[in-house]
Amino acid sequence: MFGNGIVHIGRDDTNDLVIDSLAVAPVHAALIVREDGCTIKQLNEDFPVLVNGEKTKIRNLNNNDMITLGKHDIVYNDMERVDQTPQPDNLIDPFDNEYDALPSGNFQVMNGPNIGKLIQIRKSMTRLGHAGTGIVVISKRKEGYFVTVLENIGKMTVNDIPLTERAVKLNPNDVLNINDTSLQFFLGPSHKQSTVSVF
């Protein structure tokens, strides 16, 4: 799923792999992915990393190793490598002009205690929902934004049409329901037009 480089894992949304659990540190561990293998490194002394049930600070991973972070298990599999050669039909080149010109995707919470909250889709894949109550993944592609069910529990719909295993393209004003939470999708300016000020 990930190409060569460093993959950060943790609870904070800035990680590459986000695990929404208090048992996981905001920045818990890092995977160092290389052509010849992968190494996991613990990044927070207060939150252990277990590989096949053994605590470790740094360790080379083998195929089918079980990584435990808090209450969550991840199986490492080196059989599926990311093709490093971009294929126009199915892979996104992050430096492609068409991709940069894609308008920013956003959701607004329409009900509940977080009503009015805005969620901006910044990454190529964003997870929404909670384990045990239903999870969807929003993927940003050259063709637009798509929603796919990761954990189908309870009511998971787009415009009251149940989500299945197939990805559904999101259009402006579509309403995504994850159980009792309604989120309305809308588009903002393109990524090229977006500016961020840091004070």
Q: Which residue has the higher pLDDT, 199 or 10?
A: 10
**pLDDT tens track for 16-32:** 888 888 899 988 998 88
So what's the pLDDT on residue 153? 79
So what's the pLDDT on residue 3? 59
pLDDT at 101 over 90: no
3-state secondary structure labels for all residues of the chain: CCCCEEEEEECCCCCCEECCCCCCCCCCEEEEEECCEEEEEECCCCCCEEECCEEECEEEECCCCEEEECCEEEECCCCCCCCCCCCCCCCCCCCCHHHHCCEEEEEEECCCCCCCCEEEECCCEEEEEECCCEEEEEEEECCEEEEEEEECCCCEEECCEECCCCCEECCCCCEEEECCEEEEEEEEEECCCCCCCCC
pLDDT at 65 over 70: yes
1: nearest Cα among 110, 89, 76: 76
Which segment of 51-55, 158-162, 194-198 scores lowest on mean pLDDT? 194-198
**pLDDT tens track for 73-83:** 888 876 544 44
Percent of the chain residues past pLDDT 70, beyond the cut? 80
